[in-house]
Structure 1
Amino acid sequence: MKHLTTQVAIIGAGPSGLLLGQLLAKQGVDNVILERVNGEYVLSRIRAGILEQGFVDLVREAGVAERMDREGHVHEGVEFSIENERYRIDLKALTAGKTVMCYGQTEITADLMNARQAAGLPTYYEASNVQLHDVASNEPYVTFSFENEEYRLDCQYIAGCDGFHGVSRKTIPSDLKKEHERVYPFGWLGLLSDTPPVHDELIYAKHSRGFALASQRSETRSRYYLQVPLTDKVEDWSDEAFWDELKKRLPEEVAQNLVTGPSIEKSIAPLRSFVCEPMQYGRLFLVGDAAHIVPPTGAKGLNLAASDVATLYKVLTRAINDGDEACVQQYSEICLRRVWHGERFSWWMTNMMHDFGDVSTYGTDSHTFSRFMDSEFSYYLTSESGKAVIAEQYVGLPYEDPK
C-alpha cells in the first residue's frame, strides 16, 4: 500500500471540491482531491448557471474569475409570468446594487480544473473504493484504489464534497444525524440547445398547463425547463413536442420570439428538498449536495454549496495556519443557518410556481392550496416590499464569517 500525506483530503472534484481546494491552496494549505469518475464525466454534468453575488465574489477571491468576468452575463433582474401576465423584479435596485451572473456550472468547473492542473495540485480521478476512517479522531485517513494500486492518505481534516450518493454522509453514524426530506410530485424536463435565449433575463412562468422556465448559459446557448409528471420519460418527448409545449406556457409575446433547434442534452430531474443535520462529524465536514439538496426553482443548489465552501475554507485555514482548532466546531451551525434559508426560499418558489394537480398539500385540498398561492402572488409580485423580499433572497443572503 502506498502512503500519502496531506492537510485536507477533499472527496469529490465537482465545483465545490475544486473551489475549496483552490481557496485552501491560496492560503498555503495542502490538499488532495479524490474523484470516483474521470474529468470528462465531471464536465458532462449539466447543472445550474445562475451565480449569486457572493459566489461570484468567492470565485474572484480564488483567482479563477478571468473567463467568468469576460464571458459571464450579469443579470440585474428576473421576470415572473403568471398566466401570461408579466412581473419584473429589479434585483439591482431592490438590493442596493447586487446582481446575479449567468455562467454555467460546467464552465466554472472547467476553469477550476485548469487552475488546479496549472498549479500542479494533486487530483486522483477514477479513484475507486474510497473509504473514510477514524474521522472522529485526531488522525483521520482515507483509503482508495487508483490504477491498480492501494493507497492510504493521512490527513488532518476531510471535506466531503461527493454529493448525495457519496461515501461521506454515509460515514456519519445514523444515530448521530437527522435527515429531513420532502419529495415533490413532479419533475423538470430540461433541454439544452445552441440557440439564442428567448429573453435577456430568466423567466419563471406559471401556467395552467404547468410550470416553465426560460434560462440560459450564454448569448448563444439556452436552457429551458418544463414541469412534467414523474411518470414521464425523456423518450416521450421529442424536441418538437418540447418546443410546442414551451411556447404554450411562456407569455405569448415572448413565445413569438423563441428560436428553436436540436437539443444538445435532454433529461428529467425529480425535485426534492433534503437536509442532513449536523453537517460535520469529528474531522469530517459535509459540503454541498452531500448535506443538502433544494428544488432548482430558486437557483440555490450550487450557491448553497459555495457558501459551505466559504465557511469551511475559513475555519480550516484558521485551524491549520493559526492553530485555532476549536473554530471548526462552528462550521455546521453557520452553514445550516444559511442552508435553511435557502431551503425555505426554494420550497416557497416551488409551491408558488407549480401545479400540484389533485395532490393534497400541507393538509389542504388542491383548490384551497392554489388559492393560498394566488394570495402570495398578489402580495409579493405587486408590492415593493414583497418584491424586495424576493430580490434579497434571489441575489443571496450575506455570508456569515466564523467568530
Structure 2
Amino acid sequence: MTRTIKTQVCIIGAGPSGLLLSQLLANAGIDTVVLDRKDRAYIEGRIRAGVLEQGTVTALEEAGVAERLHREGIPHDGFELAFDGARHRIDLAGLTGKSVMVYGQTEVTKDLFDKRFAQGQQFFFNVEDVTPHALKSGAPQVSFTHEGEDITVSCDYVAGCDGYHGVSRQAIPKDVLKTFERVYPFGWLGIMVDQPPVNHELIYANHQRGFALASMRSETRSRYYIQCDLSDSVEEWSDDRFWEEFATRLGPDAAANLQTGASFEKSIAPLRSFVAEPMRYGNLFLAGDAAHIVPPTGAKGLNLAVADVRLLARGLIEHYAGNDAHLDAYSQTVLARVWKVERFSWQLSTLMHQFPENSPFEARMQKAEFEYLASSEAASRSIAENYVGLPLE
C-alpha cells in the first residue's frame, strides 16, 4: 500500500541548493518535502567549493543562516594569477567595490541542515526508486521507496536539485532536452591539510608542468590542487610527491611560505562544462548541478546553483502571491546567466591549464593573454566582475 503525502513543492536533493530553496520558501510560508538518496552525514561530509560570491552571502543572510559564516568566514578582496613565476593580483575590491568570502560548502550545508531541522522540515533520506510523474499536469507527483515503504508526494511543483547524476533531468523527454558539453582532458588532484595557507589570498598558477591552485578553508586549513592526468589514481600520489610538484608549479617565491604536512583528504576530480536546456519542463524546475556543471577553476559551481535557487524561490513565492511572471520566465532568465558563467569558467580554464593538444602557438597565446591581463586595468576588471559574481539578471 502506498502512503501519499501532500505538499506545495517537492524538492529532490538535500544538498546546499535544495536546502537553501526549502529555507527560502519556508521563510515565505511555503511548505516543502525534501528527499535524497543519501543520508545527512554523507551529504555534509562531501568536500566541495569554498569561495562564496557576495550574492551567495546575501542569499544565506536572507535564509537566516549566515551568523557562523560572518563569524568564521574569511573575506577576500583579491586573488592572484601566476604564469611561469610571474604574478598578477586581481584587485576585486578596487576594481568592482566587491569581495568574496572563503567559507567551505560543507559548512554552508551544515548551517542549512541545522536551520531546517530546527524548524521541523520534513526530510526523507536514503530513498530509492525516485520517479517524478505527471509533470505536465497541474498535479505532479514524486514516488519513491523509503525504509521499505512506498511513498508518493503529491505537490504543485517539483524542484530538481539532485545534481548531475540525479533523476530530475532524466525525467525530461529526450526530444525536449538539449545538452551541451565540453569534457576536459585532465583532472584536478586535490588535498586537504591542517596547515596555514601558503598565501593570504588564492593563487591560480599556470606552469609548464600544469595548473596549480592554492586555496584554503580557514586560517589553519588549506586546500591545494594540481592538474593531473585522467588516468592517474590517488594511490600514485604520495603526499611527498604532491608537495614537490605543487611547490614547483607554484613558483619559488610563493612556495617559500609553504607548510607541508600529512593530508587528511585526497581525491581526483574530472573537469567538464555542461548545460541542459530547458531548465523547466511542465511543473518541474531544474536548479544547480542537475542543469549545469562548470569546471572549478572560476569557483562558480555552488555560486551558480545559489543564483538559480534565488530566482526559483522568487518565482515560486510570487506565484503563490498571484503573479506568475518570474516563474514563467525562470528557464530563460537563468540560462542567460548560466551561459555567461560557463564562458568565464571556460575562459579561465583555457588560460590556466596545460592542454595536451596545444601547439606552441596556443602556448604563446596563453602567455600573451596573461601579459595583457597584467597590463590592462580593463581586462583585469572583466575578470574581477565575473569572479565576484554577475547580476542575477
Alpha-carbon shift at residue 129 of structure 1 (Å): 1.1
Distance 2:158 2:298 in 1: 29
> How far, CA to CA, are the matches of 2:152 and 2:72 in structure 1?
41
Please state if 1:121 is matched with 2:121.
Answer: yes
Structure 1, unmatched stretches of 5+, are: 361-365
Distance in 2, matches of 1:201 and 1:118, equals 35
Report the equivalent of 1:71.
72
- 1:31 deviates by 0.6
Aligned residue in 1 for 2:387: 394
Which residue pairs with 2:201 in the alignment? 201
Q: CA deviation at 1:375?
A: 2.1
- Measure, in 1, the Cα distance between the counterparts of 2:60 and 2:251: 35
Retained in 2: the 8 A contact 1:86–1:251?
Answer: no
Q: Residue 9 of structure 1 contacts residue 31 of structure 1 at CA under 8 Å; is this kept in 2?
A: yes
Aligned pairs (5 A) from 1:353-368: 353-357=352-356, 359=357, 366-368=359-361
Q: How does 1:128-167 map to 2 (within 5 A)?
A: 128-167=128-167
Q: Could you say which residue in structure 2 is the equivalent of 1:84?
A: 85
Aligned match of 1:351: 350
Change in Cα spacing, 1:326 to 1:282, as seen in structure 2 (3 Å) is farther
Q: Quick one: distance in 2 between partners of 1:257 and 1:379?
A: 28
How far has the Cα of 1:372 moved from its partner? 2.0
Deviation of the 1:276 alpha carbon: 0.2
Is 1:341 the counterpart of 2:340 in the alignment? yes
Shift of 1:398: 1.2
**Conserved in 1, the CA contact under 8 Å of 2:83 and 2:367?**
no
Letter of the aligned partner of 2:78 in structure 1? G
CA deviation vs aligned residue, 1:362-402 (integer Å, no higher than 9, x gap): xxxx22222222222121222111110010000001112xx
Aligned with 1:176: secondary structure?
A: coil
Deviations 1:36-67 (A, max 9, x none): 10111101210000001100111001110000
**Which amino acid in structure 2 is aligned with residue 38 of structure 1?**
D
In structure 2, the partner of 1:221 is: 221
**AA at the equivalent of 1:352:** L
Asked whether the equivalents of residues 315 and 325 of structure 2 are also in contact (C-alpha less than 8 Å), the reply is: no
Give 1:285-304 correspondences, 5 Å limit: 285-304=285-304
What TM-score, normalized by structure 2, do the two folds share? 0.98
User: Which consecutive segments of 4 or more residues in structure 1 shift more than 3 A?
Assistant: none
Structure 2 letter corresponding to 1:338:
R
**What is the CA-CA distance between 1:326 and the residue it aligns to?**
4.9
SS at match of 1:381: helix
Deviation at 1:177, TM superposition (A): 1.1
Q: Please say which of residues 298-307 and 370-379 is displaced more in the overlay.
A: 370-379
Q: Could you report, residue by residue, the CA deviation over 1:253-311 in whole angstroms, capped at 9, with x for unpaired residues? A: 21111111111110101111000011110100111000000110011111100100010
Determine the C-alpha separation between the residues in 1 that align with 2:236 and 2:303. Answer: 32
Match of 2:373 among 373, 376, 380: 380
Tell me by how many angstroms 1:323 deviates. Answer: 2.3
Which secondary structure does the structure 1 equivalent of 2:379 belong to?
A: helix
Kindly provide the amino acid, as one letter, of the partner of residue 186 in structure 2.
Answer: F
Preserved CA contact (<8 Å) 1:75 1:201: yes
Aligned-partner SS, 2:169: helix
Q: What's the CA shift for 1:121?
A: 1.0
Distance 2:346 2:222 in 1: 25
SS of the residue 2:367 aligns to: helix
Aligned to 1:244: 244
Residue 151 of structure 1: how far off its partner (Å): 0.6
How far apart in 2 are the matches of 1:260 and 1:54? 34
Once the two structures are superposed, residues 297-355 of structure 1 have per-residue CA deviations (whole angstroms, 9 ceiling, x without a partner) of 011111100100010000001112x1223542211111111100110000000000001
Partner of 1:187: 187
- What is the SS of the residue equivalent to 1:270? strand
1:289·1:305 contact (CA, 8 Å) conserved in 2?
yes
**Alignment deviations for residues 1-35 of structure 1 (CA, whole Å, 9 cap, x no partner):** 11100000000000000000000000111011001
Correspondence for 2:111? 111
Report if the CA contact (8 A) 2:314-2:326 is conserved: no
**Between the two proteins, what is the percent identity of the paired residues?**
56
Q: CA 1:250/1:307 → structure 2, altered by over 3 Å: closer, same or farther?
A: same
**Match of residue 363 from structure 1:** none
SS at match of 2:210: coil
State the match for 1:56 in structure 2: 57
Distance in 2 of aligned mates of 1:185 and 1:382? 30
Q: Distance in 1 between matches of 2:331 and 2:135?
A: 16
Q: Secondary structure at the match of 1:21?
A: helix
Would you say the 8 A contact 1:143–1:150 is kept in 2?
yes
1:276 — aligned with what?
276
Alignment root-mean-square deviation, CA: 0.9
